[in-house]
Amino acid sequence: MPLSRRPAACECAPPMLEFDAELIRRFDVSGPRYTSYPTADRFVEAYDEAAYRTWAAKRNIGGIRRPLSIYVHIPFCDTVCFYCACNRIITRNRRHAEDYLAYLRRELDLQAALFAGDNEVRQLHFGGGTPTYLSDEQLWRLMADIRARFALAPQGEYSIEVDPRKVGPDTVRALAKMGFNRMSLGVQDLDPQVQRAVNRIQSEAQTAAVVEAARAHGFRSVGLDLIYGLPKQSAASFARTLERVIAVDPDRIALYNYAHLPQRFKPQRRIDAADLPGPEEKLKILKLAIDELTAAGYLYIGMDHFAKPDDELAIAQRQGRLHRNFQGYSTHAECDLVGLGVSAIGKIGPTYAQNHRSLREYYEALDHGRLPIMRGLELSADDLLRRAVIQALICHFELSFEPIESSYLIDFRRYFQRELEALKELERWGLVTLEDDWIGVTPRGRLLVRHVCMVFDKYLQSDLQRTRYSKVI
């Protein structure tokens, strides 16, 4: 049942967006990105392989058959990008990739046994690191291993993250033949000075060639990833990047905020903080990007994401089907998620599970015939309720109380009395509108939807706890 006002099948107006610099300055605090609720930092080691197996065995109790989504983490990169905060391994020794694929095959065997006879996959995503660090032949083998153990639906969504510096037309053609139909390309910024400052030299021609090849070989959607707030970046320089990116005409654009956390991410220590744009310049860059992308016809999906009106993300949002998971916005809310590879996170029923984050521990578990699960969480009734509320707000910017009350057997106003009182302050500032049975995030509040969602996060008990997260903007 949709948790917003719009009926599931309607084609409604897309979310509007207003840039309000004063609001952003006031409410730009640290907070989660809500790719899950509770967030991964709340996972516990008490949730182990045995718990995961138990939930996998009973995930379809009651006769509801849930399809699967698969995430595969490939951690390797040739070179280090100084801004990167991903779990990745920098190496030019290709033997490491062969060893990793052998262990992935072991994990696939263990996971496939849990879903035998009920293993339809509707969504697949290769992330990293750099998935295209693998050779074409290695990618063929990995896809063959997956197909041998799971049933990939003919009309499924199969995506891969691509580094345009390492991929030519032949590889794009091979990816299409393997079954991939959606890709995202890391770009970040096309300005040479910015690229040198973050150690990622990538020409416009390389990016355009991969996009052109993807279109020629039938990819349904091509997305480009940009970052604002990088060293040496300015509104003037980013305007040139936006002009060239829009000319490439991608279906989706992700515009991420660079969070400078050198105390947590070692590569960022090689960035001179003096080269970073100041807060006001960063706001100018963000406003410029929003203005240019919306003028070019892109719709604001939410949380850094823009898409063309005919892209599957935009359609899912209009129809009330949009979902958010560990890969960002998704059109497959109904799927359980199987995470494969080092650090990968999965979701089975009301639980999350994360694999070991180091290769040594990941390999050691598989050497002993165990699923390499490091930690996870079994969600309480309260967690599930709050997750539904946060999902509705972050995906659709509105929430009707009645579906929540019917699904979770609560009186919304009584259960969330404290939260509704807190929202009144946000209403006074124009971030939300409140009615007797409804919450709406205003166009002015949509860039700050993370802040609205934080009101419903019971784990954020103090400002001190919030410092572990990046800034909202």
Annotated binding site: 71, 77, 81, 83-85, 128-130, 161, 188, 200, 225, 259, 345
**Residue 162 pairs with which residues in a beta bridge?**
185
What's the CA gap between 93 and 112, in Å, rounded?
A: 30
Torsion over CA: 204, 206, 209, 213 (sign): negative
**Nearest 5°: CA angle at 31, between 25 and 33?**
115
What's the CA gap between 148 and 108, in Å, rounded?
A: 10
What's the CA gap between 336 and 133, in Å, rounded?
A: 27
Helix (H, G, I), strand (E, B) or coil at 133: helix
What's the CA gap between 11 and 317, in Å, rounded?
A: 9
Residues making up the binding site for S-adenosyl-L-methionine: 71, 83-85, 128-130, 161, 188, 200, 225, 259, 345
Please name the residue ranges forming H helices in 201-307: 204-216, 235-248, 279-295
Q: Which of 469, 26, 42 is nearest to 257 (CA)?
A: 469
176 exposure class (CB count in 10 Å sphere: 0-12, 13-18, 19+): middle
Residues making up the binding site for [4Fe-4S] cluster: 77, 81, 84
Buried/exposed 377-402: b ≥16 CB within 10 Å, e otherwise: bbbeeebebbbbbbbbbbbbbbbbbe
